[in-house]
Amino acid sequence: MYRKKAGSFLLLAMLMVVTMTISGCLDSGEAGVSNESDVKELILGEMWDIESIDPAEDIKVICEKALVVETLVTTNEDFSLASGLATSWQQLDNNTWEFKLRNDVKFHDGTDMTAEDVKFSLERAISRNVKVASMLNVESIEVKDNHTLLITTADLNPILPGVLHYPCTAIINSNSVDENGGLIKPIGTGPYMFDSFDEQTNVLTVVKNKDWWGGESGLERIVIKGMPDPNTRAIAIESGEVDFTVDVPYSETDRIDALEGINVEKYVVPRVYKIDVNLAKDGLNDTRVRQAVSYAIDRDSIVEHVLYNVGEPAAGPFLPDMIWANKDLEPYKQDYEKADSLLTEAGWVDTDGDGIRDKDGQKLELNLMTFSTRPGLPPMAEAIAAQLGEIGIEVTPEVLEYGAILERQKEGNWDLSLAPFTIAMVPDPEFVLTNWYSTNGTDNKPGYSNPEVDKLIEETRGITDQEERYAKFNEVEKIVYEEQPMILVAYYGCAIVKKDEVKGYVFDPTAHDYRINAGMYIEK
């Protein structure tokens, strides 16, 4: 066995530094109070830089946090579909769907929303967003009348209505764009209207839409400040700079929750921390090595000591209580002996006694990329590196900007990449299983290809009985559970941090990160 204790001490030291840094910046007593707060204004500390306000490109801010634009379809808490800007839909034949639109919706410029606007928005999203184009797989969009739209898909697409819940399919007025299709400003239909966006300060401001078809919203204005650093978000909520934020360092949640005037709400959400594995790399292209990595990870310990119980150990890609999850799967339990046996069987042994396995003169040394916007990632990467060190795999964590990670993956210059991914933005298992595990999946960063998986996914598209569809998807889950092209660590826990005076918040489990709602208000 290979025992390396340094990683554990490094993890503990890092967590202590984070705690002392935040605590040292603020008095440990009451939270700060802003003297300039407007009782009808919400200031939100957003976890991402605001890189775009174009709904066709951005799934994180303009739809879910700013509430400027809306989609044709929404969901209920149980992930069943519900009406949005569309009141109803029906499948006319294998490839044709009819959508009936609300007739009482106005854009923020005062014009009526019609089927022409919906056609324009969807065609624009398809042309500008590869994932939207792939998921919709549209052959044509036809306006039947002002409030009826026909969508014909190139192939059978039983999840089309669910795809139209995806934020990048949100509806905008054609006056939102210039003659080349570039966004001028988003003119949507939502409860709040675009007011301004300062790229230099990373601040987006929206104001109440008094003519919203859904009724009266609770705030006059929402100011969204991009704050990608978790420590900055923690300081901002404590000092009174913001009224609402999310995912402060998990080691700080109990302390912050104990402060007067602030409360923390924790949710396990449909998002999973997963390690993408570069299958083009020697060693990692061996299923036994990937299984050994999975057996080396102590998921229970990571949830308890890294995530501070904001999350749960993961087995398959879906939460166990989701109707389409394969409930026979259990999280891999840490088993160093099993990991050791698998690596030895694969030919990876320590021939020179330096504690690192090797084969044919090559050391089993890997990089593990991650980013810091989500507070659990850097300490999780350190913990995983320490645990893999115990079985003779040398892992070097690298904390990078998310864009740099994508570039490295594009170049093929990477081994492992740790990030959390949403699993319910389209409320159907096909969304995740196709994008992650099919040969041409848009999120298949490992380059995984299994003809049986492709065949099973393709077969589901000709099945209308949901139980039969789910049974085939369960088979896919079992195959990838055994082959581990992506190593699932834990289901994501989200920590919502807000002032006590912020009322009316309702957590939405289908959101990309979190979604604010029109019913929120400030109570002084």
The CATH number given to whatever domain includes residue 355 is: 3.10.105.10
Which percentage of the chain shows pLDDT scores above 90?
Answer: 85
Pair (253, 277) in one structural domain: no
Task: Tell me what the mean pLDDT of segment 143-168 comes to.
Answer: 95
In a domain, 67, yes or no: no
**pLDDT-derived band of residue 78, with 50, 70 and 90 as boundaries?**
confident
Pair (472, 445) in one structural domain: yes
Tell me the three state secondary structure of residue 421. strand
> What one-character DSSP code corresponds to residue 303?
I
CA dist., res. 288 & res. 386, Å (int): 20
Report field, pTM of the whole predicted structure over 0.95: no
User: Is pLDDT above 90 for 144?
Assistant: yes
Q: How far is CA 2 from CA 35, 69, 357, 366, 397, in A?
A: 57, 54, 9, 16, 19
Pair (41, 83) in one structural domain: no
Pair (259, 396) in one structural domain: no
CA dist., res. 331 & res. 309, Å (int): 16
Contact predicate 138/126, CB 8 Å? yes
Pair (312, 410) in one structural domain: yes
In a domain, 102, yes or no: yes
**pLDDT-derived band of residue 331, with 50, 70 and 90 as boundaries?**
very high
Phi-psi region of 465 (alpha: psi -120 to 50; beta: other; left: phi over 0): beta
- What is the pLDDT, as a whole number, of residue 39? 54
The CATH number given to whatever domain includes residue 221 is: 3.40.190.10
Pair (214, 290) in one structural domain: no
- What is the pLDDT, as a whole number, of residue 464? 82
Pair (484, 336) in one structural domain: yes
| Domain count of the fold of the chain | 3
Closest residue by Cα to residue 27 from 170, 239, 192: 239
Pair (245, 156) in one structural domain: no
CA dist., res. 248 & res. 47, Å (int): 9
Q: Which residues contact 467 (CB under 8 A, 6 or more apart)?
A: none
Pair (369, 480) in one structural domain: yes
Pair (89, 211) in one structural domain: no
Pair (392, 404) in one structural domain: yes
Pair (338, 416) in one structural domain: yes
User: Is pLDDT above 80 for 89?
Assistant: yes
In a domain, 392, yes or no: yes
CA dist., res. 401 & res. 506, Å (int): 31
Q: Determine the structural domain holding residue 506 and report its residue range.
A: 31-51+187-266+495-522
